[in-house]
Amino acid sequence: MTDVGPNLAKLSLGPLLFNWPAEQIRDFYFRMAEEGPFDTVHLGEVVCSKREPFFAKFIPEVMDRLTTSGKEVVISSLALVMAEKERQGVRALAEADFVVEANDISAALALVGRPFHVGPFVNVYNEGTLVYLSGMGMKRVCLPAELSGATLAILAAQKSCEIEVQAFGRLPLAVSARCYHARLHDLHKDGCQYVCAEDADGLAVDTMDGKPFLAINGTQTMSERYVNLLGQVRSLGQAGVSRFRLWPHHCDMVAVGRLFRNVLDGQLDAKAANRQLAELVPDAAFSNGYIHGLEGHRLIDDDLLIA
């Protein structure tokens, strides 16, 4: 099969993982409603329930704008559910009149009997789990970052639900009860002073010898490098991946989204798109190792592989 012409895969803007000021988040989504090349936009706090109240009051307005402009809106649920307040939030999803992406299996109990999506914080590694959750009502799954392209193809071939793959941004790698931003500032999570807000794209973590490695975002640990699958989205689309997730970053996400759309549509080759992406996020280093079945931090130049 030759890879020409438009690819029908859709684009999702993942939930914002960082702690931005609420008004800034609102304005970010207003712009996405007007200009964003995304089919779906995710709202909802995934990382830390302490952040949740600040943006909550803007959600109805933002949802309205996004829906009016033709975007599908999905609410992503919290990834690590422990405290009573967090559990109440999960139970309340059962009554929600919007589409929910479950990021913890606790949400599945509330969502039984209605269509739901599953996010990358739930371990869907194989066809057994995929088929089971699809039987429960899962219509779409965004798969964990560490799966290889070969695994993604096996799961897509099941055709049991929509398959979404993370294609841009710092990869969420781990979640903890402990807040590393607070710990770095000699604070505890309970009295964190919201120090995670100081780092709009997370805080880079280097090795002792100064090599960039990871990033922290409150209780979440991420890759320092931004995953970038511009070179792979078309072949993954042909393998049955129906959707790609771009994680919001503090950059021109409209322009980033358009690059992915143009590559999928066959309007722009991946090499040119990569050059433009590097200009849009000049401080970011990229990776695509996982998709090649390698260390996640690696960047494999596909042009070299093909030659």
Positions 129 through 148 that interact with another protein (CB under 8 A): 129-133, 144-147
Minimum CB distance to another protein smaller for 237 or for 289:
289
220-228 and 10-13 strand pairing: unpaired
| Structural contact between residues 34 and 41, judged by C-beta atoms closer than 8 angstroms | no
User: Of 1-9, 18-26, 42-50, 289-297, which part binds another protein (CB under 8 A)?
Assistant: 289-297
What is the rounded radius of gyration, in angstroms, for the C-alpha atoms of the chain?
A: 19
Contacts with another protein in 148-167 (CB under 8 A)? 150-151, 154-155
User: Of 7-15, 59-67, 186-194, 236-244, which part binds another protein (CB under 8 A)?
Assistant: 186-194
User: Of 12-20, 38-46, 80-88, 250-258, which part binds another protein (CB under 8 A)?
Assistant: 80-88
| Structural contact between residues 127 and 154, judged by C-beta atoms closer than 8 angstroms | yes
- 2 contacts another protein (rule: CB under 8 A): no
User: Of 15-23, 170-178, 241-249, 254-262, which part binds another protein (CB under 8 A)?
Assistant: 170-178
Give me the least distance between CB of 297 and another protein, in Å please.
Answer: 6
Site string for another protein, 91-130 (x = CB under 8 A): x------------xxxxxxx----------x-xxxxxxxx
Q: How far is CA 226 from CA 115, 132, 146, 248, in A?
A: 31, 32, 14, 11
Minimum CB distance to another protein smaller for 70 or for 128:
128
Minimum CB distance to another protein smaller for 109 or for 278:
109
Q: How long, in residues, is the chain?
A: 307
# residues near another protein by CB under 8 A = 73
CB atoms within 10 A of CB 200: 15
- 216 contacts another protein (rule: CB under 8 A): yes
Which phi and psi (to 5°) does residue 42 adopt? Answer: -95, 135
Cα angle value 169/260/173 (rounded, 5°): 20
Binding another protein (rule: CB under 8 A), the pick from 175, 251, 273, 291 is: 175
| Structural contact between residues 230 and 292, judged by C-beta atoms closer than 8 angstroms | no
User: Of 60-68, 159-167, 204-212, 263-271, which part binds another protein (CB under 8 A)?
Assistant: 204-212
CA 223 to chain centre: 13
CB atoms within 10 A of CB 206: 11
Minimum CB distance to another protein smaller for 40 or for 217:
217
- What's the burial of 286, exposed, middle or buried (CB within 10 Å: 0-12/13-18/19+)? middle
